[in-house]
Chain A
């Protein structure tokens, strides 16, 4: 599956580190999404972008900072995370806002 790619696939970071997750979609879509999936919990929608503008922010702590420089790229900047932030972070895209979503493979994040 090369439609939506995410890097890195695995990341280990300390609580004082700053890191960024990258998502790229090759589908010509206009909307992109960040989800969080913690162990044994359903996927949680974090952020939504449509045409590079943020349209939804679901009460996510400020230590997570999204960035959408263009319709093909989406970043999630991480700083001063907590161990409970360890999870699988998934990116998705859709043709237009709330259309059928295609997911990337995810980044498995471990915060020590």
Chain B
């Protein structure tokens, strides 16, 4: 069972920031928050992950609330190529099958002109 809740879909104007929320209220102390995205008919692409501190890389920023019960993925300047399904995944640090990726249904982000 997916441990996260995401909106089904969102729209964003090109050039604006896309803020994708994720609720993970049952997250435990040894679990990371991972984000992947899947452009239509392609394989999922890793974006970013974090434990409790905010993270930034060349693709996006990840903001995790202090209680770790929710997070937001930020694409600072969305382009049409960012149109995809975005998956928020909670993943254990432990070894074994508890660490496997469990994909939910994600948020379908549509970037428009």
Q: Which residues of A contact B (CB under 8 A)?
A: 1, 4, 42-43, 45, 48, 56, 88, 90-92, 97-98, 100-106, 108
Interface of B is mostly: loop
User: Which 6 pairs between the two chains have the least Cβ-Cβ distance?
Assistant: A103-B43, A98-B99, A43-B103, A42-B103, A103-B44, A90-B43
CA distance A105 to B43 in the complex (A): 4
Q: Are A106 and B41 in contact (CB under 8 A)?
A: yes
Q: Are A102 and B103 in contact (CB under 8 A)?
A: no
Chain A proximity mask over B99-112: 1 for CB below 8 Å, otherwise 0:
11111110000000
Q: Are A42 and B104 in contact (CB under 8 A)?
A: yes
Known interface pairs A4-B43, A90-B43. Does A98 touch B100 (Cβ–Cβ under 8 Å)? yes
Task: Write the nearest CB–CB distance from A39 to chain B, whole angstroms.
Answer: 11
Whose C-beta in chain A lies nearest to the C-beta of B46?
Answer: A100
Name the B residues within 8 Å of A56 (CB-CB). 97, 100
Q: Say if the beta carbon of B45 comes within 8 Å of chain A.
A: yes
